[in-house]
Amino acid sequence: MRINKTILTIGLPALLMFALLAFFRQSGNAVEAPKAPPAPVAVDSTKCIAQTEYMRANHMKVLYEWRNSSVREGNRVFIAQNGSRFQKSLKTCLGCHATNRLFCFNCHMYANVRPKCWNCHLSPMETP
């Protein structure tokens, strides 16, 4: 009797949980979800993708490379030297750097460089 009771007390709630899970299961498949595994890579905006000195001199090359490989080849993941992974997107940079609204402009104005990025992309000044 004692064993029966133990099985019952453990088994019943377990059964209940299964039944509940089945109940909460997502229903309806009217629209088919894309089959390819398009899991996004989390944008890690807490650290930089490379050394500040390197980025200061070569950010345009990095952006050029990112743009070509992500748009044209679909290679969207950048693996930094220390092994951390980033999504190749302007948003990855601006996720952090946009906190300083003048981040791009200060230098570009001083150097008299006028890149056309902000003709289409939202600049740090315009991001909400």
Partner 1 sequence: MNKERRDFIRKTGLGVLAGICASSGLLPKFSLEETVLPAWDEKPVPGKIRWGMLIDTRKCLNECSECVAKCHFVHNVPDFGNRKDEVKWIWKSSYEHVFPTSTQQFRTSDVLLRSYIAMCNHCADAPCTRACPTEATFKRWDGIVSMDYHRCIGCRFCMAACPYGSRSFNWRDPREGIKLASVDYPTREQGVVEKCNFCSDRLVRGLIPACAESCPQKAFTFGDLNDPKSDIRALLESNNTMQRKPELGTKPSVFYII
Enter the DSSP assignment of 113.
-
40 binds partner 1 (CB under 8 A): yes
Which listed residue (11, 99, 102, 106) binds partner 1 by CB under 8 A? 11
Which of 47, 56, 61, 121 is the binder for partner 1 (CB under 8 A)?
121
Query: Which of 24, 92, 36 has the alpha carbon at shortest distance from 59?
Result: 92
Cα gap 60→79, rounded to integer Å:
18
Residue 77: beta bridge partners? 87
Whether 51 contacts 80, CB under 8 Å: no
Tell me if 16 contacts partner 1 by CB under 8 A. Answer: yes
Q: Which stretch binds partner 1 (CB under 8 A): 11-19, 51-59, 96-104, 105-113?
A: 11-19
Report yes or no: 80 and 107 within 8 Å, Cβ to Cβ: no
Q: Is 120 in the site for partner 1 (CB under 8 A)?
A: yes
Instruction: Examine residue 39 and tell whether it contacts partner 1 (CB under 8 A).
Output: yes
Selected binder of partner 1 within 51, 56, 65, 75 (CB under 8 A): 75
Instruction: Name the minimum Å distance from CB 11 to partner 1.
Output: 7
Binds partner 1 (CB under 8 A): choice among 3, 21, 81, 111: 21
Label residue 100 exposed, middle or buried (CB < 10 Å: 0-12, 13-18, 19+): exposed
